[in-house]
Amino acid sequence: MSARKTALIVGATGVSGRSLLTHLESRPDWDILAVSRNAPDFPTRARHVQADLLDPASCREALGAACRDVTHVFYTAYADRPTIAQTREPNAAMFRNALTAVTEVAEGLQHVCLLQGTKYYGQYLGKFKTPARERDPRHPNPHFYYDQEDCMLELQRRGSWTWSCPRPHVICGFALGNALNLISVLAVYGTMCRELKRPFTFPGKAGAFTSIYQATDAGLLARAMEWMATDPRCANQAFNITNGDFFRYENMWPVFAQYFGVEAAGVETVDLRQDMGRHEDVWNRLVERHGLMRNAYARVADWNFANYAFSNDWDVMSDTTKSRRFGFLEFIDSEEMFLQLFDRFRAAKVVP
């Protein structure tokens, strides 16, 4: 059996962090520290460390005391803001505060796994070189991924640990109240179309309906993160991590429609914040009628993110050859993933 390891999952209650927490909990050789502002609202054997990463003093106090035995840092925290440009400052600061505090006390630190994404390639700005490869240069537009990576490389010079950076696209998993959650947005949108007796139109741009797209299952990402954090061949490497297949919404839409019992329809571009955002009363009635988990409408569907997620009218493709060459061979059928995750949101009574 391998030596015991202590994971510090920063942002352990989010869509990626929670899945990693669940995965590492199933492994006997990991002790786990889970960092977030709010305590997990699900059972876990991890020790929760409450810290506000935006506050360097709180961070140093909380992490300094708890992190002496940490061997592996998994950074999955994220601060959402109304625009992508505005996410830069808080996310760069949070990472610097957290990693500085940990590296000051964790003398046995072996590895830092920093979660990134395809925004690394400028995917959110328009047509980009596809399939994206890990060796592709940074986009000239600033992004907090670059700030966090630069900070990590700077701190690494003072330590003897290695790093890895997974680059997923649209992380699909079970979490509530997080900003970037495609599954709950789709599940609530399908449910609301049924309730409002409306056809299940594609609310994004016409080009987004037909372009090539991809997704990353949060469970697969969690297993990939453990792999790259512990396999010495992955030291100081970035890896695209996606399900391994591609899809177009035009083909997926009828499958979703059938699942939610609505009539599949074509593109009708709308601003979902205005179109769906005004139906909070309808959602509240659904919650009562079906005895659903009591979630505020805004907690289960971030229509701002939905607008963004359905607006990429260009191909989004990552090349996953490198992770396979280095030894990570898992793949997932994206259609099956969507349906299984919808089932999970139903089983948890988030949607009827």
Ligand X SMILES: NC(=O)c1ccc[n+]([C@@H]2O[C@H](COP(=O)([O-])OP(=O)(O)OC[C@H]3O[C@@H](n4cnc5c(N)ncnc54)[C@H](OP(=O)(O)O)[C@@H]3O)[C@@H](O)[C@H]2O)c1
Using the rule CB under 6 A, give the single segment among 14-22, 152-160, 196-204, 244-252 that binds ligand X: 14-22
- Angle (CA) 307-310-311 rounded to 5° is 80
* 8: helix, strand or coil: strand
Check if the beta carbon of residue 149 is closer than 8 Å to that of residue 140. Answer: no
DSSP for 78-115, please give it.
----SSHHHHHHHHHHHHHHHHHHHHHH-TT--EEEE-
* 33: helix, strand or coil: strand
Q: How many residues does the chain have?
A: 352
How many angstroms separate the CA atoms of 26 and 21, rounded? 9
Check if the beta carbon of residue 333 is closer than 8 Å to that of residue 239. Answer: no
Instruction: Report, in Å, the least distance between residue 325 CB and ligand X.
Output: 22
Instruction: Report, in Å, the least distance between residue 19 CB and ligand X.
Output: 9
The single residue among 63, 171, 176, 193 that binds ligand X, judged by CB under 6 A, is: 171
Residues 63-92 binding ligand X (CB under 6 A) are 76-79
The single residue among 16, 211, 240, 243 that binds ligand X, judged by CB under 6 A, is: 16
Q: Cβ closer to ligand X: 37 or 346?
A: 37
Q: Cβ closer to ligand X: 50 or 251?
A: 50
With binding defined as CB under 6 A, does residue 175 bind ligand X?
A: yes
Q: Which residues, 6 or more positions from 268, have their beta carbon under 8 angstroms from its beta carbon? A: 201, 202, 203
Q: Cβ closer to ligand X: 60 or 169?
A: 169
With binding defined as CB under 6 A, does residue 51 bind ligand X?
A: yes
With binding defined as CB under 6 A, does residue 36 bind ligand X?
A: yes
Instruction: Report, in Å, the least distance between residue 120 CB and ligand X.
Output: 9
Q: Cβ closer to ligand X: 180 or 276?
A: 180
* β 30-36/111-114 pair status: unpaired
Residues annotated catalytic, as ranges: 119, 145
The single residue among 22, 178, 307, 320 that binds ligand X, judged by CB under 6 A, is: 178
- Angle (CA) 320-325-329 rounded to 5° is 70
Using the rule CB under 6 A, give the single segment among 149-157, 174-182, 222-230, 280-288 that binds ligand X: 174-182
* 341: helix, strand or coil: helix
Check if the beta carbon of residue 163 is closer than 8 Å to that of residue 156. Answer: yes
The single residue among 125, 179, 235, 264 that binds ligand X, judged by CB under 6 A, is: 179
The single residue among 117, 122, 131, 190 that binds ligand X, judged by CB under 6 A, is: 117
Instruction: Report, in Å, the least distance between residue 16 CB and ligand X.
Output: 3
* Interface ranges with ligand X (CB under 6 A): 11-17, 36-38, 51-54, 76-79, 94, 115, 117, 168-171, 175, 178-180
